[in-house]
A and B are shown apart, each in its own frame.
Chain A
C-alpha cells in the first residue's frame, strides 16, 4: 500500500515537473538532419518579458527553410495564446549558423516549448 502511495506521489511530482519545463524539440527527422541546436539562451528583460534565443547551425551544403513555433505558459503551466504559437518560416542558409530570437507575448510567460518542423 505504501509502495502504491509513493509511486502515485512520485508520478504527480514528475508530471508537474514536466508541465512547467522549457525545451526545444525537433519534431521532424528531416529537420533534425540539418538543424544542429547548439545553445538555448534566455533572459528576463528590464520590462519583464522573457526573451529566448536558439543558436543553431546548418551544416549541409543546401539552403533550407523550416518552420518553428513557440508555446508559452504562465507560472501555473497555463497556455498563453500568442501569434508565436503559429508556425512561422525560418531560413537556414547553407553552412551557416543562425539564431531564432523570440520575445514572450506577456510578462506572465515563464516557460516555453519551441518546436521545429519541416
Chain B
C-alpha cells in the first residue's frame, strides 16, 4: 500500500513538473519579445539613450574653458500607475554622462545622496580613527547643475474597445548658479492594445 502511494505521488510530481511553463532567459541584445503595456527595460533604455544623445548634442554640458560640471540628481517623480524605480532611467543616464567626461556626479546632495559622505565626517570625534585619514572640512564640492524630471502616464480608452497608453519621460537640466533650465528633453513612448489588459 505504502509503495503504491509513493509511486502515485512520484508520478503526480513528474506530471506537474512536465506541465510547468519553461522559463527562458531574455536576450537583452536582440529581444524579439512581445511588447507589454507597462514599462519594460527596452522603454527605459530608449528614453535614457534619447536623453543622453540630446544632452550631448546640446552645448548644455560643455563647460567653457574645458573641465567637468558637477551634476546632482534632483527629484525624478514617478507619475505613472506603476511601481517603478526611477533609477531604471536615471542610472543609465548617470553612467553615460559620467563616461562622456562632461560631468562628475555628486552623491553629496540630491536624491542619490550617499549618507556615508556625512557619516565618515562624523568620525572626526572618534579617537579610534586616525584623524589624518578622515576627510577635512570644506572638501565636499557643491553641484553646478541639477537634473530633475518626471515620468508621466496617460491611459486613453479608444472607441473600438482598444486602449492606448502614453508614457512621457520629461527631464530638465538646471544651471544652479542662476536657475536657468539649460536643456530640456522629452521622449514619448506609446502603446496600443486590448482594452482588457491592465497597464500597471
A associates with B: yes
Chain A residues packing against B (C-beta within 8 Å): 46-49, 80-84, 86-89, 101-103, 105-108
Q: B46 touching A88 by the CB < 8 A rule?
A: yes
Does the CB pair B99–A84 fall under 8 Å? no
Chain A proximity mask over B88-127: 1 for CB below 8 Å, otherwise 0: 0000100010011110000000000000000000000000
Which B20-48 residues have a C-beta within 8 angstroms of A?
29-30, 45-46, 48
Residues of B within 8 A of A (CB): 29-30, 45-46, 48-49, 52-53, 56-57, 59, 62, 92, 96, 99-102
For the residues of B in contact with A, the DSSP-based class is: helix
Contacts of A83 in B (CB 8 A): 45, 48-49, 52-53, 92, 96
Partner of B99, one of A101, A102, A105: A105
CA distance A86 to B30 in the complex (A): 9
Given contacts A105-B99, A106-B100, A106-B101, contact A86 B49 (CB under 8 A): yes
B15 to chain A, nearest CB (A): 41
Question: What are 6 of the A-B contact pairs (CB < 8 Å)?
Answer: A47-B62, A86-B49, A103-B53, A105-B56, A105-B96, A106-B100
CB closest residue in chain A, given B53? A103
Chain A residues whose CB sits within 8 angstroms of the CB of B57 once the complex forms? 101, 103
Let me know if B46 and A105 touch, CB within 8 A.
Answer: no
CA–CA, A47 and B53, complex, Å: 14
Specify the chain A residue showing the minimal Cβ separation from B61: A47
Q: Which residues of B have CB within 8 Å of A103?
A: 53, 56-57
Closest chain A residue to B55, Cβ basis: A103
Enumerate chain A residues within 8 angstroms of B96, measured Cβ to Cβ: 82-83, 105
User: Once bound together, how far apart are the Cα atoms of A81 and B100, in whole Å?
Assistant: 11
| Inter-chain contact A88/B56, CB cutoff 8 Å | no
Known: A80-B99, A83-B48, A88-B46. A46 touches B62 (CB 8 A): yes
Q: How many Å lie between the Cα of A108 and that of B101 in the bound state?
A: 9
Query: Bound complex: CA of A47 vs CA of B101, how far in Å?
Result: 10
Q: Is the CB of B56 within 8 A of A49?
A: yes
A106 contacts across to B, CB distance below 8 A: 99-101
Could you tell me if A84 and B100 are in contact, using CB atoms closer than 8 angstroms? no
Task: Give chain B residues whose Cβ lies under 8 Å from the Cβ of A80.
Answer: 99
A49 to B66, CA, bound (A): 12
Given A105-B99, A106-B100, A107-B101, answer yes or no on A84-B62 (Cβ-Cβ < 8 Å): no
Q: Judging by beta carbons under 8 Å apart, are B30 and A84 in contact?
A: no
